[in-house]
Amino acid sequence: MRSATPLPKDANIFFCTRGFRSSIRRFMKIANSTVLSKLLSPTVINLNLQSADRDSVLGELVDQIPQLANQPKARQTLLRALHEREQLHSTGIGDGIAVPHSRNALVGLVDQPTMVFGRHAKGIPYGAIDNAPARLFFLLIAPTVTQHLAILARLSRLLRDPKLRQSLLSADKPEKVLSLIRDAEAKL
């Protein structure tokens, strides 16, 4: 039996294993190959959200998902997962942005990753860390955890750009939203 070599006290075991490093490399490759603009279409973009509170806006966003239009049980499952996630901690990330998503991937609910974009003219209280009302909403659903995390990572990188956020607030057509996201991704 081989004895284990003791690690130095300041060693970080998470970055010492080959398996972990290869997992990170695989994840980064998936995150970098995820194209958000391909997850969007004009039918899943709502530039005039009308709801006055978080729960209602979640319902409005879910109603934009064509795959769930004739599936009331799937719609309820998604809404329940979104509400549970919001109870854990708000998905309002600040700067007027909310990224509603479930805690984990929703296996069997959708066959491929889906993203819905919504914009609210006035903004609604969303419990973001900066207490700013949310005006831009990106609802995410993915069938696997890896896809789910890759979409979140890619979207987070894009939304750091204040010019993009401002442009999304002033876009007059769904096609313009698609163009803005496509252009921002090209710069990554």
Task: Supply the mean pLDDT for the chain.
Answer: 86
From edge to edge, which strands make up the β-sheet containing 45-49? 45-49, 114-124, 134-141, 97-98, 92-94
Question: Do 30 and 19 touch, CB atoms closer than 8 A?
Answer: no
Identify which has the larger pLDDT, 54 or 21.
54
Mean pLDDT of 34-60: 95
Q: What integer pLDDT is reported at residue 31 of this predicted model?
A: 47
Predicted local confidence at residue 49, as pLDDT: 98
pLDDT of residue 21: 52
Q: Is residue 2 one of the residues assigned to a domain?
A: no
Q: Does position 60 have pLDDT exceeding 70, yes or no?
A: yes
Residue 160 lies in a domain: yes
7 assigned to some structural domain: no
Domain region containing 168: 13-186
Inside any domain, residue 1: no
Residue 88: what pLDDT? 93
21 domain residue, yes or no: yes
Average pLDDT over residues 102-131: 89
Residue 87 lies in a domain: yes
Domain count, the chain: 1
Work out the end-to-end distance of the chain between its first and last CA atoms, rounded to an integer number of angstroms: 49
CATH number of the domain to which 147 belongs: 3.40.930.10
Q: Residue-wise over 48-76: b if at least 16 C-beta within 10 A, else e?
A: ebeeeebeebbebbbebbeebeeeeebbe
pLDDT digits (tens, 9 = 90+) for 133-147: 999 999 999 888 888
**Does residue 153 sit within a domain?**
yes
Examine residue 56 and state whether it is found in any structural domain, yes or no. yes
Instruction: Determine the pLDDT at residue 17.
Output: 53
For the chain, what percent of residues have pLDDT higher than 70? 82
**Rounded to two decimals, what is the model's pTM?**
0.82
The pLDDT, as a whole number, for residue 143 is 87
Phi, psi of 115 (to 5 degrees): -135, 140
Q: What is the DSSP letter of 37?
A: G
Distance CA 97, CA 49 (A): 14
